[in-house]
């Protein structure tokens, strides 16, 4: 199968470091690739919001999921248990992604990834 491609949602960095400067320092240190917003990503994030995949009050959470999907990554790792890492969201992301022609993505908390 090859090496999985992972999206680390920002809670992964902020949980550990809690400061923006330290989080930004991880980018060159570990070769983290920054992914840009695209029109396709914005459209998909808007679908997640309008269809109740994540609450309309959480557009950044919808963007994290959409960036993972549109870039063809295998899964997203997050500590956001309120809006991202929960069965309701995972199932609805799967449904929207399949309907819109994208592959399903895995949604995991860090401890689950360590067990993969």
Please report the pLDDT score of residue 111 as a whole number: 82
φ/ψ (deg, to 5) at 42: -60, -40
Q: What is the pTM of this model?
A: 0.78
Q: What's the pLDDT tens digit per position in 21-45?
A: 766 776 787 777 878 889 999 999 9
Q: Is 83 helix (H, G, I), strand (E, B) or coil?
A: coil
CB contact at 8 A, 105 and 97: yes
Neighbour order of strands in the sheet with 75-77: 6-8, 75-77, 106-108
């Amino acid at each position: 199968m090859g090496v999985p491609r992972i999206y680390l949602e920002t809670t992964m960095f902020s949980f550990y470091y809690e400061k923006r400067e330290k989080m930004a320092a991880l980018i060159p240190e570990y070769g983290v690739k920054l992914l840009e917003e695209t029109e396709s990503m914005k459209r998909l994030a808007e679908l997640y919001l309008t269809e109740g995949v994540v609450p309309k009050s959480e557009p950044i959470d919808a963007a994290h999921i959409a960036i993972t999907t549109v870039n063809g990554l295998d899964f997203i790792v997050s500590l956001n248990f309120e809006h991202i890492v929960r069965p309701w969201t995972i199932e609805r992301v799967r449904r929207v992604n399949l309907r819109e022609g994208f592959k399903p993505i895995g949604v995991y908390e860090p401890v689950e990834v360590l067990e993969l």
